[in-house]
Chains A and B, each alone.
Chain A
Amino acid sequence: MLWAIVVLLLCACAALGFLWFRERQGNAALVARQRDAEEEIKRLQATQSQVIHTTKLASLGQMVAGVAHEINTPLGFVKSNVEVVADLLDDYRKLVKQYDAAVQYCLQPVDLIFGADKASLDKLVKHVEEARRKLFEARATLEKSPLLSDAKELLKDASDGLTQLASLVQNLKGFSRVDRDGMDLVDLNEGIESALSIAQHQLRDRVRVVKHLQPLPKVRCMASQMNQVFLNLITNAAQAIDGEGTLTIESRATPKEVEISFADTGCGIPDDVLPKIFDPFFTTKPVGEGTGLGLSIVHKIVKGHGGSIKVRTTPRKGSVFTVSLPVDGAAATGPAAVAANAA
């Protein structure tokens, strides 16, 4: 009887021990799985910031191509004009020399007067007449010469060109905000303007831009990221428009939010495509033309700032993308979360 109890107790102990052991093992597996999951999340986050960085570079490449054209045209005439003006001045100097020679010729009679007799006085009169004629001619040539006014015109063009180049560089700087990283109080209207100037080569001659920008309160955000959002939306609008069309950009402020909308008269988005437009790697563009990341990045950046993005679209009529950002800036996730997205 006692033996039986002892055996039973031993069995119970063994069973308990086994259960305890299994539980511990299970726990260990759980912990390991959790660690794996955490690592996976970290890896995904790293990939994601990598992807943001890559698309930033891709849009940089696109931008450089367009900007190269914008820069090389003014650079072309500025460089040429400055050199040509130097040549024109050389030509002008030659005319001045001729004039000078004529003046010298005029001065010669003064020497002759002192030792003059009748014959030489006649000669003198002739010389004076000749001198007058020469001086008059040289002067007329100088006055009629277009050299100086040409030079002036070329210099004016050169100066305009330099202003154009300077504002282009300013815009590029403003766009990338390399001078300021991190969260900042930003007037988003300025961001729209600088994104527009960068996208200029895609719009020019084809897409009319209508702006209704109301004064906005400054918003706390990462300026370079918001500029990327604007550039992506403008580029998408330009690409949605086949041939000529209009892009209307409106900005307005409500007490809590700043709203910016981009309305194009493009092809619109079909119903079956609409739910997927913010998915990473989803694209309707031919291979090689779009990364399929533009809108997913836009979505990501706007979310990261505690904002939202809405789309309204009518096939064959156009689409409106509206970005809303809280005025008190990234309150939803806090600056740290946004900063983590910055690649």
Chain B
Amino acid sequence: MSDPLRILLIDDEERILRALRALLREHVTFATTDPLQAVALARQHDVDVVICDQRMPEKPGIEVLREIKESHPRALRILLTGYSDLKAVLGSVNESEVFRFVNKPWNNAELKALVTEAGQIAREAPVIARDALPPTEHDRARSAVGVLVIESDAAVQQRLREILQPYYKVNFANSAERALQIMEQQETAVVISETQAGRNDLTGLLKALKLHHPHIATVVLTERANAQTAIELINEGQVYRMLLKPVRMGTCRLSVDSAIGRYWQLKQNPQAARRFTAAPPSEHSTTSPLRLPAALLNRIRSLPGRLLGAARV
């Protein structure tokens, strides 16, 4: 690599830091056991990538990463954790918007490749500092693009209709098939989806959608998130938000609002979508998009790309 990346490492265990420094020795690394210093270090050294532990006495990793996201948004964030509790998983999506969620013990070759990829993206892809749009533009966006809800439960559908109908162009689907029909006909900015429709898994669809159309923002609704499924949705699905059922009006509106903002800005700045690149689907996962029927995959792939600027990312 011509110019080494600058990487910030945060973990309360010194030996983890030494191991990571040795592993990433071809890059310039800065390491600290004190999460309270992390934000300052990230800005001071203008780092490209941050790798942060979740469980630390002074402050949890998701909070450290959220602060770095706000003060130094250029850096891509990786959460490295020994045990994935649901709070960490949800926080890493909704608060710190991590690029990847990595479990300890990690795989050296994969982590090295991941850091290199993240570093290149951080350097090359433009930053969207805030998802929220100015009010007039937000109104324009809301009337121009649609929100699609994939939900099989009639009661939840009704609830979402009440929350969303007055503000957005909403469509409802209760299957992957119907969802694709709608997306083929109408420009869709946000997909709100549960993880399963009846007995059918939807996460494969969400991952495939993100793989081919990274600018579409996905909001996942889940009853009792399974940590493993959620981690896969972060890494391979780059979900925008993950909300627990029952859906609350406030959080739901906020999430959809900023998701539309995100889509709208990516539409004008397609290169920035690289920041939300999903990991290549893992073949052994039962919910891998590779297991979707070929016909469905083809339809997802050939959904009309509606980005201005035209360059497919």
The number of chain A residues with a CB under 8 A from chain B is 28
The 8 Å CB contact of B19, one of A72, A76, A206, is A76
Closest-CB distance, B95 to chain A (whole angstroms): 21
Interface-forming stretch among A80-88, A212-220, A257-265?
Answer: A80-88
Q: Are A80 and B82 in contact (CB under 8 A)?
A: no
Q: Which residues of A contact B108 (CB under 8 A)?
A: 79-80, 83-84
For the complex of A and B, the 6 pairs showing the least CB-CB separation, nearest first, are A205-B57, A76-B104, A77-B19, A72-B82, A69-B83, A69-B82
B106 within 8 A of A: yes
Find the residue from A70, A80, A153, A160 having the highest chain B CB count within 10 A. Answer: A80
Given known contacts A79-B105, A205-B57, is B16 in contact with A73 (CB within 8 Å)? yes
Q: Are A73 and B13 in contact (CB under 8 A)?
A: yes
- Using a CB–CB distance below 8 Å, which chain B residues touch chain A? 13, 15-16, 18-20, 22-23, 55, 57, 80, 82-83, 85, 103-106, 108
Interface residues of A in 56-103 (CB under 8 A from B): 65-66, 68-81, 83-84, 88
A74 to B18 alpha-carbon distance, docked (Å): 12
Closest-CB distance, A64 to chain B (whole angstroms): 9
Q: Which residues of A contact B13 (CB under 8 A)?
A: 73, 77
Total number of residue pairs linking A and B with CB closer than 8 Å: 66
A206 to B55 alpha-carbon distance, docked (Å): 13
Q: Are B23 and A80 in contact (CB under 8 A)?
A: yes
Find the residue from B16, B19, B80 having the highest chain A CB count within 10 A. Answer: B19
A75 to B106 alpha-carbon distance, docked (Å): 9
Further pairs besides A68-B83, A76-B105, A80-B106: 5, Cβ < 8 Å: A69-B83, A72-B82, A76-B16, A79-B106, A206-B57
A36 within 8 A of B: no
Q: Are A150 and B22 in contact (CB under 8 A)?
A: yes
Q: Are A154 and B18 in contact (CB under 8 A)?
A: yes
Pick 30 A–B contacts, CB within 8 A, sort by A.
A65-B83, A65-B85, A66-B83, A69-B83, A72-B83, A72-B103, A73-B13, A73-B104, A74-B15, A75-B105, A76-B19, A76-B104, A76-B106, A77-B15, A77-B18, A77-B19, A79-B105, A79-B108, A80-B20, A80-B22, A80-B23, A84-B22, A84-B23, A84-B108, A88-B22, A154-B18, A154-B19, A154-B22, A157-B18, A157-B19
A174 within 8 A of B: no
Q: Are A84 and B19 in contact (CB under 8 A)?
A: yes
Q: Which residues of A contact B55 (CB under 8 A)?
A: 69
Q: Which residues of B contact A71 (CB under 8 A)?
A: 82
A310 within 8 A of B: no
A206 to B58 alpha-carbon distance, docked (Å): 10
